[in-house]
Structure 1
Amino acid sequence: MFQTGRLVVFCGLLAQTMVLLEALTLPLDQTLPLPMTPPLALSPTDLAGSLTSALSNGLLSEDLLDILENLPLLDILKTGGNSPSRLRGGLLGKVPLLTPLLNNIVDLKTTDPQLLEPVLLKRPDGHRPYVTIPLAMVLHVKMPLVGSPLKLAVKLNITSELLAVKDEQEKFYLVHCNCTFSPGSLQISLLDGLGALPSEGLIDNITGILNNVLPGQVQGKVCPLVSEALDHLDATLVHSTGNALMYGLIKVS
């Protein structure tokens, strides 16, 4: 019996299933079968925009911004996170000058979190589409060594593949797979705080520290919210998206 609660799916099994579905081709003179109910109300082009808009609204309704504003970054920095050796033995072991810098950070807060416009994209191999979720925030770093607090503008992306699956009653569900921080997407720039002091080396060092902590923290908070948002999408949108994904009709960038 297929249960309609939270859908838990192993990515490997789903990937194999989708490959088999993609291998099924139709004759050129045969049109795609239309779903019985509900109809495919949205064009493939409109569908991508409707999906990303609904996903964005779903993430906001799951208190994404409040969660980002309350990331325990300072605690993670001081303890080294779930894997202390990764930060202290990895990054700091290679760059000893970062040790006093890390110890000099006495406060680290997130403000002004923003969810920018998600985008539906297609991987270079042409297989399953994935959604990019761009996030922005301001970090306030208090360091007596510097004097006035630093304000840093931060941007990074979370990406997740989207899959359509059917239950025994032929009802579509949307699930995500391989939800992760997009490597190389982290951008940190100085907004205020250094005055006439040289900033390039200091900001690079702070960026190196945050790069070992911030992406994992954001990924760990955002990816479960993606599941929740997909679970609460409108049924008609899910059905239309499921059909479009299965037959490769959805228009992505």
Structure 2
Amino acid sequence: MFPTGGLVVFCGLLAQTTAQLGLPLPLGQVLPLDGTLPSSPTDLTRSLTGALSNGLLSGDLLGILEGLPLLDTLKTAGGTTDGLLGGLLGKVASLIPGLNSLIDIKVTNPQLLELGLVQSPNGHRLYVTIPLGLTLQVNTPLIGNVLELAVKLNITAEILAVRDEQERVHLVLGDCTHSPGSLKISLLNRFVPLPVQNFVNSITAVLDKVLPELVQGKVCPLLNGILSHLDVTLVHDIAAMLIPGLTFVIKV
């Protein structure tokens, strides 16, 4: 489980912030950490979550999610015959006789929801929760219509402030993974017959195994790149509090 110390900060994606994505720390520049605190901790937390949100969106996170190769991932997870997809098709075939076509799965309506921010109990690190929402359209020709599944998933990333050998200060990405138990999949179609519901249950079991790692593998590298290009002043202000372990995450 992730640390629960600190207060959660929720910042809307459209909130105006003072943070802008800038350039990495210039080579040879040393940022002094004199303990000077930012004038407004609330503005600081809003600036960080705002910069991360803007960076994820400008980095085409939604397009990346929309292009997730779900069908290919299912097909190659052990092979098309004996792997996950092959086993799934076998189960479905026993419920719906004659099913012999591949399943088409695509992502629609990807969303980046409100980011959450929690400070660790010792004050030296931050945990950013990145909640994602999307819809899966599953094309099953013999059922006669397209099934729609609503998906919610949280990615949680650890952020630390470090000094390199030249005493330059950076914000770096620590652990970055999907939050255990955060994946939620629900059927949007109403009044489906029992065989279809059984099919949904089967495909949900498969997605539980492959979807979180697939999304995590796209979000975490993108977030790592955003941290390396944060505004220098914002990095300084955050590091000035994280390195001595001061509390600055407050509810807004």
- Residues 54/88 of structure 1: CA separation in 2 closer, same or farther (3 Å cut): farther
Aligned pairs for 1:176-195 within 5 A: 176-192=173-189, 195=191
**Conserved in 2, the CA contact under 8 Å of 1:121 and 1:131?**
yes
Give the partner amino acid of 2:91.
Answer: L
Range that drifts further, 101-110 or 137-146 = 101-110
1:229 paired residue among 223, 226, 230: 226
Provide the residue aligned with 1:97 in structure 2: 91
Give the partner amino acid of 2:68.
Answer: L
TM-score (norm 2): 0.73
C-alpha offsets along residues 147-200 of structure 1, whole Å, 9 cap, x if unaligned?
2011111110111111101235543211111111112111111123x6442354
1:158 paired residue among 145, 155, 160: 155
Aligned pairs for 1:103-118 within 5 A: 105-118=102-115
Aligned pairs for 1:112-127 within 5 A: 112-122=109-119
C-alpha offsets along residues 24-77 of structure 1, whole Å, 9 cap, x if unaligned?
xxxxxxxx9435xxxx43423332222111101011111111111101100111
1:45 equivalent in alignment to 2:42: yes
CA RMSD of aligned residues (A): 3.3
Provide the residue aligned with 1:251 in structure 2: 249
Q: Provide the C-alpha distance between the structure 1 equivalents of 2:100 and 2:156, rounded to a whole number of angstroms.
A: 32
What SS class does the counterpart of residue 152 from structure 2 fall into? strand
2:206 paired residue among 209, 212, 221: 209
Provide the residue aligned with 1:241 in structure 2: 238
Range that drifts further, 146-155 or 200-209 = 200-209
Q: Provide the C-alpha distance between the structure 1 equivalents of 2:82 and 2:144, rounded to a whole number of angstroms.
A: 25
Provide the residue aligned with 1:34 in structure 2: 35
**Conserved in 1, the CA contact under 8 Å of 2:114 and 2:130?**
yes
Q: Provide the C-alpha distance between the structure 2 equivalents of 1:206 and 1:125, rounded to a whole number of angstroms.
A: 42
User: Percent same amino acid among aligned pairs?
Assistant: 54
Q: Provide the C-alpha distance between the structure 1 equivalents of 2:69 and 2:215, rounded to a whole number of angstroms.
A: 11
Give the partner amino acid of 1:141.
Answer: V
Q: Provide the C-alpha distance between the structure 1 equivalents of 2:191 and 2:129, rounded to a whole number of angstroms.
A: 35
- Segments of 5+ residues of structure 2 without an aligned counterpart are 1-23, 27-32
**Conserved in 2, the CA contact under 8 Å of 1:59 and 1:229?**
yes
- Residues 201/251 of structure 1: CA separation in 2 closer, same or farther (3 Å cut): same
- Residues 218/57 of structure 1: CA separation in 2 closer, same or farther (3 Å cut): same
Provide the residue aligned with 1:72 in structure 2: 69
**Conserved in 1, the CA contact under 8 Å of 2:105 and 2:137?**
yes
**Conserved in 2, the CA contact under 8 Å of 1:120 and 1:252?**
no
Q: Provide the C-alpha distance between the structure 2 equivalents of 1:56 and 1:4, rounded to a whole number of angstroms.
A: 21
Q: 1:115 Cα deviation (Å)? A: 0.8
Q: 1:88 Cα deviation (Å)? A: 5.3
TM-score (norm 1): 0.73
